[in-house]
Amino acid sequence: MKLYRTNVGCFVEDNGHSYPVPLTSLDKLFNLDDLHGYLMSIVEKSDGTDLVVSEVDLSSAQILPPIENQEVWAAGVTYYRSRSARMEESKSAGGGDFYDRVYSAERPELFFKATASRVAGPGSSVRIRADSKWNVPEPELTLLANNRGQIIGYTVGNDMSSRDIEGENPLYLPQAKVYDRSCALGPCVLVTPQPLPTTTPIRLEIVRGGVVAFAAETTLAELKRAPETLVEYLFRDNSFPFGTFLMTGTGIIPPDSFTLKVADSIRITIDPIGTLENDVMQGR
């Protein structure tokens, strides 16, 4: 079942029907003992008339990113494609070896990605930095963990990245990754106690002037690390009172000749969750 945060409150969507969620604080919802059970009880209690909010109502609402006081963290080099592209881009900076090592190391690469104020919601803009000439989106399955380190849901994430800044020196990673609107999340949180199947596809499409400029697809079978292991590392001596999002890394990187341009439209689809769509902006 899907949990949406909107300008008129939170909704749970199940089987094409949307129901208002009385508890509207995501900070509280994400730490419930059983969020899935709570949302189920809302759906089951509805008699199909008075509580049902028609799809028209939900579609006229503004869908906001599903985040309040959570942090966003990210895992890196969890797909072979990311390892290889990063080895290439950082070769002249002497960083080529690091990426191969972290790909096969026991400890994953985990980095801080965003606070809620830096996160773009569905239908709004992500940013490319004014001091960068080579920018790409990174389409990533994003885990939602509660304050106990349990994975309670999934959303679609875009880990916007400045490849020239990261490639110049791996120590510039925070500047390549963390800036205003460098992250997008949404359109909802798929709340499920079941892990997503490894056959789950992740699709990226970049549209420029009405034409597809780049499209590619991967599946979770290519993700080298188990989501539970990534969360377990993140929670080592680290607490998240409101829960946290954890992006699981990208398996899709456009060819080196490709860079995002202002007004491009980025569509990331992970079927059981939905499509996250953002256009690209630069400057204020």
List residues near ligand DO4 by CB under 6 A: 74, 76-77, 82, 86, 109, 138, 159, 173, 249-250
- Minimum CB–partner distance for residue 241 and ligand DO4 (Å): 25
Is residue 172 exposed (0-12), middle (13-18) or buried (19+ Cβ within 10 Å)?
middle
Nearer of residues 121 and 137 to Mg ion, judged by Cβ:
137
* Partner from ligand DO4, Mg ion, none binding residue 127, C-beta < 5-8 Å depending on class: none
Report if residue 135 touches Mg ion, rule: CB under 5 A.
Answer: no
Quick one: 89 or 159, whose CB is closer to Mg ion? 159
* Closer of 13 and 138 to Mg ion (Cβ): 138
Query: Is the CB of 243 or the CB of 249 nearer to ligand DO4?
Result: 249
* Residue, CB closest to ligand DO4: 76
Contact between residue 17 and residue 52 where contact means Cβ atoms under 8 Å apart: yes
Minimum separation from the CB atom of position 186 to ligand DO4 (A): 18
Q: Answer with the entry of Mg ion, ligand DO4, none that 77 interacts with (C-beta below 5 to 8 A by kind).
A: ligand DO4
- From ligand DO4, Mg ion, none, which one binds at residue 109 (CB under 5 to 8 Å depending on kind)? ligand DO4
| C-beta of 74 vs 191, nearer to ligand DO4 | 74
Residue 250 in the binding site for Mg ion (CB under 5 A): yes
Nearest approach, Cβ of 53 to ligand DO4 (angstroms)?
A: 36
Of residues 13 and 159, the one with the C-beta less far from ligand DO4? 159
Contact positions vs Mg ion (CB under 5 A): 138, 159, 250
